[in-house]
Structure 1
Amino acid sequence: MSISIPRGTQDILPGDVELWQQIEKKARQLCEKYQYQEIRTPIFEHTELFSRGVGDTTDIVQKEMYTFEDRGKRSLTLRPEGTAPVVRSFVEKKMFGFAKQPVKLYYMGPMFRYERPQSGRFRQFVQFGVEALGSNDPAIDAEVISLAMNLYKEMGLKKLKLIINSLGDKESRQAHREALINHFQPRIGEFCSDCQKRLEKNPLRILDCKVDRDHELMKTAPSIMDYLNVESKAYFDKVQKYLTQLDIPFEVDSNLVRGLDYYNHTAFEIMSDAEGFGAITTLCGGGRYNGLAEDLGGPETPGIGFALSIERFIAALNAEGIETKLNEGIDCYLASLGEEAKDYTVGLLQKLRLAGFSAERDYLNRKIKAQFKAADRLNAKYVAVLGDDELKNNIINVKNMETGEQVEVALDSVVEYFQELQ
């Protein structure tokens, strides 16, 4: 009986994984420039972290989490997102006491959500995200957004659209909340059961409903913009000013509601405008979450961050037809003729690798012609051919695969020869 891969997961094979590695490398390099440091949190956490941190009215907590009970009867959940674990670690490890403030972190790793698999969306997916904790400066909102935009741009994406909104501070959100309840309550029976439950708990989440998004009350729902107090409006104006200063185009959409309960003030999404990308155009989402650290037992700490899916990143690259140079080839392929020469290449291969060169040899006892074909498949810059006669004479023939030029090199100085070529 054959065993197949679980639905909603994928194997990333050689030939494909190199693009993943390139994106991950670019993300790490960019974070270094922005002074964000890596944090690694557990794959699973106590379920309460997500029900409290993400919000028990969200689809993630209600429908999508992989939750299980361990042998100690503890409820644990495979992490569905990265912010709550990072903030949990921030509080637990007392990072608010670090000398370097704000604390700027990034993470990269698998997340898990039980949802319907579709193009660019999996049940196990890889997220890259950043979190900046400890600053109320709207300039860091702009910085976080610029980091995400620059990552996409440095990989060649051009058809991007940034949407921003303000969810306001606690006072503004409360006023908007009451207006939403008054708006939806008379006809809430026409909405789905989820929306009916959200009316009192978190009516803002009704605006994010995919089932009732075409209902006429959605179009006339009170806008958060009409309920922003002076402080919230000034904050949002500053964010827009800084984005303009950074030459980052944006659109304000008062209907943008992030799917997690902890957001306030700045909320944003980066979307793909590429033709044929698909119905779900969001590549990246994030926002400010002042209050989350307090909810998880820490001191009052402002924070902002974003998360993006590597899978959707790659889908956007494909939609724009962007080809990236992945296989730069190896430095040298060792071809051998004769048993003694073949045995000698084992040690020579090791010397080349320890000297910093990428190198390979034949392991299938192929003829010399087949060995050259193998070198071509590996895009080898040079092929070094060693036969039993050459071994006795302490020489090796090195062929430049681009020019076809071939030279005879002393076998005991072949490593130095390649070092001089660099």
Structure 2
Amino acid sequence: MAQKIQSVKGMNDLLPVEQKDFKLTAAFWQAFEDVVGRWAKSYGYSQIRTPIVEQTGLFVRSIGEETDVVGKEMYTFSDSNDSLSLSLRPEGTASCLRAVVEHNLLYNSPQKLWYMGPMFRRERPQKGRYRQFHQVGIEALGFEGPDIDAEIIAMSADLWDKLGIRGYLTLEINSLGNRKERAAHRAALVDYLTRYEDKLDDDSKRRLKTNPLRVLDSKNPDLQEICNAAPRLVDYLGEESQAHYRCFKTMLDGLDIKYVENPRLVRGLDYYNQTVFEWTTDKLGAQATVCGGGRYDGLIEELGGKPAASIGFAMGIERLLLLVHEYGSLKADAAPDVYVIHQGDGADLQAMKYAQALRAAGFDVMQHSGCQSLKAQMKKADASGARFALIVAQSELESGSATLKDLQGMHGQQTVAAADLINTLQQWKSA
């Protein structure tokens, strides 16, 4: 017997049933996608779909060459024909903005875009964090004021309500100011951290040279006292940045959205400025962040487009759905409405005709395949989760009738004319 080939570690199959180490089913995932599509449309966002593979330079320029994502986590390879360096996308914003710039989507008006799809990072797989993971992203492009900052926070909060997990999430916010303000803070931060360099762990020492703001994001408990006493970026904000941040918070207060100000919240990518935020939970172990984002006003220009104010966020679907699966209200119903059973010569073809007619009328129908006893077929009907069974027997073919059975017991069982099948089932289903 040939040896089995298994999936790559950290890249999961979505099956019709729960797995021992991965509880999310394809039906649960589909139910989430349905909610997201309606939710995004209700806020005026249009879907965009971009390739999984992009030129490596896109992510080097946008995310930052010295970030952990680009420096350690991307899947990068050379195209065999022209030696072009390509990478599997590690996040969605850069690809989205590359498409916006390439196709000049901001020529006439601002854009509200959303996307959903797989991302790839070569990191240690753990609960809620995988090498192939999926994100939903929201990007609002060409909007300058703090009102759009508040709107996308309200938008995310609305999704948590729809999924039944609002009470398990905490909103953390901060402002990173503009490039000049961040440069002044960076100089002060480097000077401060250098005095404690002998106490920093290896990761923080590396970040001190490449991306010192990320040192403040360290989860090492031995560094918390040092990080807590470090210069705060908020103290380096000018009046314009402070006014933007104040107005943003006033709008959140007016919308009755509770938040925690976290001066150490910096996000992991270089392109952020001004407003940044994260929705976190204490229900997923060490992986606290479920959704995060902020402003990236300079990124479109960095990618070759005309300057445009921009803000967005992304959520990891696996991590979010683990929370929804355990605590939320999302229901995944993969069961058919009707299970069609046939018994006797010629009944299988007539059963197939009835099934097609029911599907055309909007019912989800599973038709039994093969020849088994009526008892065995009824067991499979029960196991399918279907609400109704349609039994087509050889003895009923000449009379043009069939038997309907309510598997939940409300309507019992009755024989009806073929012409009345759809109407009867519609009445039963709506009752």
Structure-1-length-normalised TM-score: 0.93
Distance 2:146 2:353 in 1: 59
Q: Map of 1:5-404 to 2, 5 A cutoff? A: 5-15=7-17, 16-71=25-80, 72-99=82-109, 101=110, 103-157=111-165, 158-188=167-197, 190-192=199-201, 195-199=204-208, 201-210=210-219, 214=223, 216-274=225-283, 277-320=284-327, 322=328, 324-327=330-333, 329-401=335-407, 402-404=409-411
Contact 1:386/1:396 (<8 A) preserved:
yes
- Report deviation, 1:221: 1.0
SS across alignment from 2:223: coil
Contact 2:59/2:70 (<8 A) preserved:
yes
- Report deviation, 1:389: 1.3
Partner of 2:21: none
- Report deviation, 1:408: 2.1
- Report deviation, 1:28: 1.3
1:87 maps to amino acid: L
Contact 1:332/1:357 (<8 A) preserved:
yes
Of stretches 398-407 and 16-25 in structure 1, the one that deviates more from structure 2 is: 398-407
1:113 maps to amino acid: R
Aligned length: 417
Distance 2:222 2:108 in 1: 44
- Report deviation, 1:84: 0.7
Change (3 A) 1:9 1:262: same
Contact 1:167/1:264 (<8 A) preserved:
yes
Task: Give the CA RMSD over aligned residues.
Answer: 1.9
Change (3 A) 1:212 1:405: closer
Report sequence identity in percent: 41
1:236 maps to amino acid: Y
Of stretches 345-354 and 205-214 in structure 1, the one that deviates more from structure 2 is: 205-214
Distance 2:340 2:418 in 1: 12
Deviations 1:188-217 (A, max 9, x none): 355455544544553212223456861653
Distance 1:68 1:115 in 2: 17
Distance 2:178 2:386 in 1: 59
Distance 2:208 2:142 in 1: 32
Distance 2:131 2:336 in 1: 35
Distance 2:36 2:5 in 1: 35
Contact 2:27/2:334 (<8 A) preserved:
no
Distance 2:305 2:243 in 1: 27
Distance 2:91 2:79 in 1: 21
Distance 1:356 1:43 in 2: 35
Distance 1:212 1:92 in 2: 45
2:228 maps to amino acid: K
Structure-2-length-normalised TM-score: 0.92
